[in-house]
Structure 1
Amino acid sequence: MALPLLPGFSINKNLSKDKFHKSQHFDYSNGVPMLVGSEKPGIGGELLLGQKHKQKYSLFPKGENSNAPSWVAFDKQVLCFDAFFQEVVPQSKEEKYRVRKCKIYFYLEDDTIQVVEPELKNSGIPQGTLIRRHRISLPHPNDDQFYNVHHFNINQEMVLYSRTFKIMDCDPFTRNFLRKLGVRLNPTASVPEDPYCNLRQEMEESMKPLRPYERQDTLKQFLDHDRNVLCFYCHWDDSESMFGDPRELIMHYFLADDTIEIREVIYPNSGRDATPKFLHRSRLPKHAPIPIHQPGEKTDRTVLNVFGPMGHGGRYILDSLKTGAVKEDFYKDRDLTFGSVINVWGRRVMICDCDNFTKAFYRTKYGVEDFTPVQYKAPPAPKPARPVPPYNGFGSEEDSLCSCQGLLPKPPQKDFKKLMEKDRQGLDSNVLRFVGKMETDNPIDKERVFIICFYLSDDTIAVFEPTQRNSGVIGGKFLERSRVKKPGQELFKSEKSEWFTVQDLYVGAQLLLNKQSFKLVDADEYAFNYMEQHVEEFPRANMGTILSKIKSISEDKKNQLLAMVSQGDTGMIQYEHFRSLLVATDCGLSEHEIMMLGRSYSEREQTEANMGMMLAVAQDQLRKKHFEAFAEMIRAFTHEDRNRTGLLPSKDVRTICKAFQLPLPDDLLRGILKRYEKESEEIDFHAFLSGINWREDPAPPVFAEDVLKFDVNWNGTPAGLAVRSVHYALMLEDVFGPRGTADKQS
């Protein structure tokens, strides 16, 4: 039973509402003002009369597609349809209608439509874009809605602005897209024939001649050889004319159109105006200059005769044999060869040379291999030597020479390449040290020992004197590091001075350093090794040259050397006896060559220190420096050991030790690493760290004299001879062969 409509019995529907706004019925869509309130609810979101509640979710499950907006999901995706429409042609007896083909593009990102008509030749009507891209509304009475993708199908008509278009076909992308949307496509339709187009086609076919005219197609040549230019270097001898002289020209041949351009090479201060071009780009005739032709004499085609009146209905034929046609020969690329003379409008220009591109072109096209240039000018005269003023005494000789080479004096340039190659690199010092003694009559100075250092980076020499106890002479620096001139040269002269080089320093050499004479009696191991490794710079260290000198001695001296070999001998001899024998035999060997020969066939004395003593000294120094980063070092070694073999190259182990600033002398660290090094030049870093770890594996204590054994300070006085004995039998076998020594023993 319903309640009566009385005060107090009615229900206020606004009691539970919290929204009282009105829906928006007008909005802009793609810049177009539109009425969008047909489906909007009333005040507070209540449905109006006739509206149905729109479900939030459809009856079908939600798909797996992305939630991207349409302008992102369908960006650059366009549906293309082939269509046509008929246009009535009034007041024409030749045609009643026209069939105009067009393409309809539907853009999926914003549902816009564009209609484009392909242009036809000589159509006489405006073609191209018929309808610009925008949204198009449906025909009346649904003009409040717009075309979407579901309105398109094949073999159906659609009205766009009162013009009926019929869709015939579509492209494969459009066909697949519509099928995925569930649209059942109709069969493909055909375009009706256009009577007027058929009539025009028949007229054009009737206008074509039965035989083709001569065709001059230069497009292919232009497309194949555009920007390809042959460059020739030419010579024009204009000496016969008044005030004429030989001239150099550059000729450019353009392969795109067979034209030639010539430019003149004008040198500075030549007295000629710098004209931009000697010959403008054009086709160059061979028989120039040519007479001027009369009007109508030179034409592309020759008319043979005319039939009928000179107007409508008249006909003419062309002369296929070109009787009376003017023929002109122009220069082609096949005419341009080395040594050939071309006629440039009466000037005889000779081709002398060309660039690399031109050579490659003639080699590929014509198979030319001889590109010998033509010499058209005398070789340049040698430049006179610039007189060098003598040294003026200010600064070095290089400074004085640089001040004479320009108005603004510049400092002399050093040989930075040699400096970077021969400068100190790690343990490689590139410094050769020799032991020298002073040549004098003073008995005290005769006993003085000097260390002569030669620096390979800048060819400088420094002399030091080690301190000797109770000698009465204060040691130290004897000669500052600098370049030293060779004796017997004038001070103020124009020629460059000669300086001592590394080839002037060898064992047995006599050096006059600043009026003080020295004799080199020995060298360190690094100097000997460096000379043996660079025999091209030190011929006295070349064993092939030394052995050839011994091999070229006389027969008596040869027998004297072979007399050393006795039956049952060990083949070994003391170095001093070996040296005395070579000096007495007079083989023509210098002191340095004898020493290098002894080193090559010697048995070195192995003066290796005790491994336990070296580790004890290392632990003692690490203990005093409070070095305890052994755990960090083992982690660093393990990180570098990629293969987990426990072995690392010697260079990597030394680098890690230097990175942790291991407080050990270089010689001691090098000696310890050498003992742990295996044949593969790798080190067991676990054993190495265990040996120097004074916390876990302490070594016996050491004394001060044990530590001093490893403080290396080479002062030119070796502890013992590195070469004790020489294998002379092996040397004689290498020089005279095994047969000569065997005959002597028998």
Structure 2
Amino acid sequence: MALPFLPGNSFNPNLGKSKFHKSQLFDYRNDISTMVGEHKSGIGGAPLPGQKLKPRHSAFPSGEGSDKPAWLAFDRQVLSFDAYFQEAVNEKREEQFRVRKCKVYFYLEDDSIQVNEPQVKNSGIPQGTLIRRHRIPLPPPNEDEYYTVEHFNVGKEIELYGRTFKLTNCNQFTANFLRKLGVQVNLPENTPSDPYSNYRQQLDDSMQPLRPYERYDTLKQFLDNDGKVLRFYCYWDDSDAMFGDSREMVMHYFLADDTIEIREKITPNSGRDAAPKFLNRARLPKNAPTPLNQPGEKTDRTVLNVFGPTGHGGRYILDSLKTGAVHLDFYHDGDLTIGSVVNVWGRKIVICDCDEFTREYYRSKYGISEFGPLQYKAPAPGRPGRVVPPYNGFGSEEDSLCSCAGLIPKPPRRDFIKFMEKDRHGLESNVLRFMARMDTTKPIDADRRFIISYFLSDDTLLVFEPPVRNSGVIGGKFLERGRVKKPGQELYKSDPSAYYLAQDLFVGAKVQFNNHIFVLIDADEYAFMYMEKHSPEFPVAHVHNILGKLKAQALKNTDDIKQFFLRNDPNGVGQIPYEVFRNLLTQVCGNKLVEHEIMTLGRYFSERQDEKVNISVLLGVAQEQLRKHNFENFTRLKQLMMHHDTSRTGNITRKKVRMVSKAFHVPVSDDLLRAILEKLAGTDDTPVNYQEFVDLLNWRENPVEPLHYTAAPATLSNWVGAESRDNVMMVQYTPLMGEIFGANMGDS
């Protein structure tokens, strides 16, 4: 109990206070002056006697998620509970109470509650929404507070406006949400059965007839096959009639109700009226035409006898055997096959073909796999081809051909898709370069060397002669870039001329450009790699095809080849020089293999040294580029990569790391970025620790010793007077013998 208000028993309430401000009692709401003092605290924030406090909402624990308010964070998130309540029935003898099942929805965004009762057949009471969505106060004496999420759990009873609802179960989302709030969700409970519902079920079961009548259920067929139509192409041979001929028809079979419709194909200038339908949609009898039935002869039911008093209590018996019933046989989908003859009211129509949907229907339902169409008319005569006039010598051949396509001349269209795919982009030049010499008897011209560049984007050629000092020949551009025709073609002809393509250029090939014959003697590394990468387009770079040719020739000289390798490799290291390897293939195959095919085999079976670049060198170059561009936003780069890490494992694929870096405009060249990522991960789908990747690029916190580098020259120095070097020095002949003679011969 409180102490009496006497001297010595009272205390100063201001002791220890640090706040003495007064609350604001007036405010604007919707631009209207409003007094809000009833919800404000007193001096220093102390509550006033009799102050009205705002009803509190559900309190959710703060975690690592979003800091958005509840009405935004939990938008459209609803807790769903199965519940029931018991209602007393006082004016019926059959029942004393009813158990009514319902759904209780709790909306997390505003703590509102809605109660719905599902519809029950023949319940006799209005059902649906029992309580509309709104905040519901607690029962007295706590009517100044409202229901929150803490009041809901499986097995609890809640009182809503005088009715007690028992929560029996909840859905998976509700159970997971309550567990995250720290609530132990109880086990589901069974809902008691409703006596009146059981009584109604027993009454319905007793009304089922012991001998059910015959039912004609066409609703299921309609619902399953509505909109599904079988289409057949057929014809009617009416040539026996005067001025008759063969007429094409299209038959539609509707699976929804087994009806048939026939339409006629009216060709232009046929002299026939364009009737909309040849046969209206209806069920088609097989034995038509049939005589008309007498009134009452064809009925759905046949009544055998009527007995008992007239009116209430009278009974009748139906004929279950259907004695004397009229049966008509109609066409069904099983009767319509390719080659069958359909009787359409006396007209014989032959089915010749069907569409793809009809084929799939018969294939799945009847297992029919042969759908060969019937040829009932002669094939249409072919359209004569366009005669192109010969080339007249003005402009190019393509330009002259376009002028013959229409009255208005148009310029020839280029292959823009090929241009975009094969144009230079990044390190891919898409230009094949070959070293060539002139095939001539003149000593001065025989020593000249040319560089033939083939541009894959537009199939053009460029011939360049590197200048050589004191040679007496002025170097430079020998042939302007353009398409070059193959020799031996007629100039003025209708057929288009054949031009040199990329497949015509290879080491050892002999080409003729404007009466100058060149022999290709070498190619650059890019040309070799491109042709080997696209070996289906270049047969001379297809290793398996070359091995097939070599195998056909080598099987005749197996012992000689083996002795040759033993003589040139006495130590048995399994390697021989490339020149020795080339001489062997020349002796064995003769002119069966061209020089490019021999070089392809040498490159394929050569001893290659994997030139590995230290990752510190790559990081030094990358940090130097970042330092020059003053890039320091590594924290934001790491956050952006973390955004793509949905599972928060700290790893994303190499492809995503490169994509994020390019989108963030990291000032590192694309080839350097790709080389660093290849050191960290093997393929594009390999996960990369992006935090480690960003830390390696961070030149502020993890500096690497700066590396001074110079860009590689863009010219072909080894083809412009410099001494050339052999890319392939030694060839491993052991795997080659294994490919040709088998594994046992290769091991021996």
Listed as ranges, the gaps of 5+ residues in structure 1 are 1-56, 67-80, 86-119, 121-174, 182-189, 191-204, 701-705
Instruction: Please say if 1:711 is aligned against 2:713.
Output: yes
Paired residue for 1:179, among 140, 154, 163? 163
Task: Kindly state the Cα deviation for residue 427 of structure 1 after the two structures are TM-superposed.
Answer: 1.0
* Paired residues of 1:614 and 1:672 also in contact (CA < 8 A): no
Could you give the per-residue CA deviations for residues 33-59 of structure 1, whole angstroms, max 9, x where no partner exists? xxxxxxxxxxxxxxxxxxxxxxxx999
Of residues 330-339 and 598-607 in structure 1, the stretch that sits farther from structure 2 once superposed is 598-607
Aligned pair in 2 of structure 1 residues 335, 614: CA closer, same or farther (>3 Å)?
A: closer
Question: Partner of 1:343: helix, strand, or coil?
Answer: strand
Amino acid of the structure 2 residue aligned with 1:179: R
The 5 A counterparts of 1:662-677 are 677=679
* Paired residues of 1:565 and 1:571 also in contact (CA < 8 A): no
2:351 alignment partner in structure 1? 351
CA distance in 2 between counterparts of 1:576 and 1:606 reads: 23
Task: Kindly state the Cα deviation for residue 639 of structure 1 after the two structures are TM-superposed.
Answer: 6.5
1:593 alignment partner in structure 2? 597
Of residues 295-304 and 586-595 in structure 1, the stretch that sits farther from structure 2 once superposed is 295-304
1:453 alignment partner in structure 2? 453
Amino acid of the structure 1 residue aligned with 2:505: L
Task: Please report the RMSD computed on the Cα atoms of aligned residues, expressed in angstroms.
Answer: 5.9
CA distance in 2 between counterparts of 1:60 and 1:252 reads: 77
TM-score under structure 2 normalisation? 0.58
Could you give the per-residue CA deviations for residues 649-677 of structure 1, whole angstroms, max 9, x where no partner exists? 99949977995667x9x9xx869968995
1:140 alignment partner in structure 2? none
Question: Partner of 1:433: helix, strand, or coil?
Answer: strand
CA distance in 2 between counterparts of 1:536 and 1:550 reads: 18
1:479 alignment partner in structure 2? 479
2:542 alignment partner in structure 1? 542
CA distance in 2 between counterparts of 1:539 and 1:409 reads: 40
CA distance in 1 between counterparts of 2:216 and 2:652 reads: 82
Amino acid of the structure 2 residue aligned with 1:375: L
* Paired residues of 2:540 and 2:597 also in contact (CA < 8 A): yes
Aligned pair in 2 of structure 1 residues 428, 337: CA closer, same or farther (>3 Å)?
A: same
Question: Partner of 1:529: helix, strand, or coil?
Answer: helix
Aligned pair in 2 of structure 1 residues 340, 518: CA closer, same or farther (>3 Å)?
A: same
Task: Kindly state the Cα deviation for residue 514 of structure 1 after the two structures are TM-superposed.
Answer: 2.1
Could you give the per-residue CA deviations for residues 581-602 of structure 1, whole angstroms, max 9, x where no partner exists? 5445554332212222332343
* Paired residues of 2:734 and 2:747 also in contact (CA < 8 A): no
Task: Kindly state the Cα deviation for residue 523 of structure 1 after the two structures are TM-superposed.
Answer: 0.7
Of residues 387-396 and 498-507 in structure 1, the stretch that sits farther from structure 2 once superposed is 387-396
* Paired residues of 1:604 and 1:723 also in contact (CA < 8 A): no
Task: Kindly state the Cα deviation for residue 720 of structure 1 after the two structures are TM-superposed.
Answer: 3.5
2:181 alignment partner in structure 1? none
Task: Kindly state the Cα deviation for residue 520 of structure 1 after the two structures are TM-superposed.
Answer: 1.0
Instruction: Please say if 1:425 is aligned against 2:425.
Output: yes
Question: Partner of 2:163: helix, strand, or coil?
Answer: helix
1:248 alignment partner in structure 2? 248
* Paired residues of 1:641 and 1:648 also in contact (CA < 8 A): no
Question: Partner of 1:280: helix, strand, or coil?
Answer: strand
1:506 alignment partner in structure 2? 506
Task: Kindly state the Cα deviation for residue 400 of structure 1 after the two structures are TM-superposed.
Answer: 3.1
Amino acid of the structure 1 residue aligned with 2:522: D
Could you give the per-residue CA deviations for residues 299-321 of structure 1, whole angstroms, max 9, x where no partner exists? 5667889999x999999998777
1:725 alignment partner in structure 2? 729
Amino acid of the structure 2 residue aligned with 1:593: E
Instruction: Please say if 1:558 is aligned against 2:561.
Output: yes
* Paired residues of 2:402 and 2:409 also in contact (CA < 8 A): yes
Could you give the per-residue CA deviations for residues 549-586 of structure 1, whole angstroms, max 9, x where no partner exists? 44424438636734633533655544345434544555
Aligned pair in 2 of structure 1 residues 416, 607: CA closer, same or farther (>3 Å)?
A: same
1:369 alignment partner in structure 2? 368
Instruction: Please say if 1:285 is aligned against 2:285.
Output: yes
CA distance in 2 between counterparts of 1:219 and 1:395 reads: 72
CA distance in 2 between counterparts of 1:742 and 1:263 reads: 76
Task: Kindly state the Cα deviation for residue 249 of structure 1 after the two structures are TM-superposed.
Answer: 1.7
Could you give the per-residue CA deviations for residues 614-656 of structure 1, whole angstroms, max 9, x where no partner exists? 999x89xx8xx99733553867876787688999899949977
Aligned pair in 2 of structure 1 residues 265, 447: CA closer, same or farther (>3 Å)?
A: same
The 5 A counterparts of 1:392-471 are 392-407=392-407, 409-471=409-471
2:628 alignment partner in structure 1? 628
CA distance in 1 between counterparts of 2:270 and 2:297 reads: 45
Aligned pair in 2 of structure 1 residues 579, 256: CA closer, same or farther (>3 Å)?
A: closer
* Paired residues of 1:602 and 1:723 also in contact (CA < 8 A): no
CA distance in 2 between counterparts of 1:335 and 1:403 reads: 57
CA distance in 2 between counterparts of 1:506 and 1:640 reads: 49
Question: Partner of 2:453: helix, strand, or coil?
Answer: strand
Task: Kindly state the Cα deviation for residue 391 of structure 1 after the two structures are TM-superposed.
Answer: 2.0
Question: Partner of 2:498: helix, strand, or coil?
Answer: coil
Question: Partner of 1:503: helix, strand, or coil?
Answer: helix
* Paired residues of 2:581 and 2:731 also in contact (CA < 8 A): no
2:490 alignment partner in structure 1? 490
* Paired residues of 2:233 and 2:351 also in contact (CA < 8 A): yes
Aligned pair in 2 of structure 1 residues 314, 567: CA closer, same or farther (>3 Å)?
A: closer
Could you give the per-residue CA deviations for residues 205-234 of structure 1, whole angstroms, max 9, x where no partner exists? 9xxx99998765655544454434333332
CA distance in 2 between counterparts of 1:690 and 1:432 reads: 40
Amino acid of the structure 2 residue aligned with 1:517: I
The 5 A counterparts of 1:40-189 are 177-179=161-163
The 5 A counterparts of 1:176-255 are 177-179=161-163, 218-219=218-219, 221-255=221-255
CA distance in 2 between counterparts of 1:302 and 1:607 reads: 97
CA distance in 2 between counterparts of 1:65 and 1:641 reads: 37
Could you give the per-residue CA deviations for residues 486-522 of structure 1, whole angstroms, max 9, x where no partner exists? 1000111122221111111011111111222221111
Question: Partner of 1:632: helix, strand, or coil?
Answer: coil
* Paired residues of 1:298 and 1:326 also in contact (CA < 8 A): yes
Amino acid of the structure 2 residue aligned with 1:400: S
Task: Kindly state the Cα deviation for residue 278 of structure 1 after the two structures are TM-superposed.
Answer: 0.7
Aligned pair in 2 of structure 1 residues 652, 312: CA closer, same or farther (>3 Å)?
A: closer
TM-score under structure 1 normalisation? 0.59
Aligned pair in 2 of structure 1 residues 557, 697: CA closer, same or farther (>3 Å)?
A: closer
Aligned pair in 2 of structure 1 residues 656, 475: CA closer, same or farther (>3 Å)?
A: farther
1:157 alignment partner in structure 2? none
Aligned pair in 2 of structure 1 residues 332, 591: CA closer, same or farther (>3 Å)?
A: closer
CA distance in 2 between counterparts of 1:640 and 1:214 reads: 71
CA distance in 1 between counterparts of 2:475 and 2:467 reads: 4
Task: Kindly state the Cα deviation for residue 528 of structure 1 after the two structures are TM-superposed.
Answer: 0.8
Task: Kindly state the Cα deviation for residue 277 of structure 1 after the two structures are TM-superposed.
Answer: 0.5
* Paired residues of 2:232 and 2:354 also in contact (CA < 8 A): yes
Question: Partner of 2:729: helix, strand, or coil?
Answer: strand
CA distance in 2 between counterparts of 1:340 and 1:558 reads: 69
Task: Kindly state the Cα deviation for residue 543 of structure 1 after the two structures are TM-superposed.
Answer: 2.9
Question: Partner of 1:453: helix, strand, or coil?
Answer: strand
Matched pairs, number: 556
2:571 alignment partner in structure 1? 568
Could you give the per-residue CA deviations for residues 46-103 of structure 1, whole angstroms, max 9, x where no partner exists? xxxxxxxxxxx9999986699xxxxxxxxxxxxxx999x9xxxxxxxxxxxxxxxxxx
CA distance in 1 between counterparts of 2:318 and 2:574 reads: 110
Amino acid of the structure 2 residue aligned with 1:370: S
Listed as ranges, the gaps of 5+ residues in structure 2 are 1-48, 59-86, 92-121, 123-158, 166-195, 197-206, 643-648
Amino acid of the structure 1 residue aligned with 2:734: L
Question: Partner of 1:349: helix, strand, or coil?
Answer: strand
* Paired residues of 1:359 and 1:371 also in contact (CA < 8 A): no
Question: Partner of 2:418: helix, strand, or coil?
Answer: helix
CA distance in 2 between counterparts of 1:426 and 1:495 reads: 38
Question: Partner of 2:424: helix, strand, or coil?
Answer: coil
Task: Kindly state the Cα deviation for residue 478 of structure 1 after the two structures are TM-superposed.
Answer: 2.6
Task: Kindly state the Cα deviation for residue 412 of structure 1 after the two structures are TM-superposed.
Answer: 4.0
1:602 alignment partner in structure 2? 606
Percent of paired sites with the same residue: 50
Question: Partner of 1:599: helix, strand, or coil?
Answer: helix
CA distance in 2 between counterparts of 1:676 and 1:334 reads: 63
Amino acid of the structure 2 residue aligned with 1:558: I
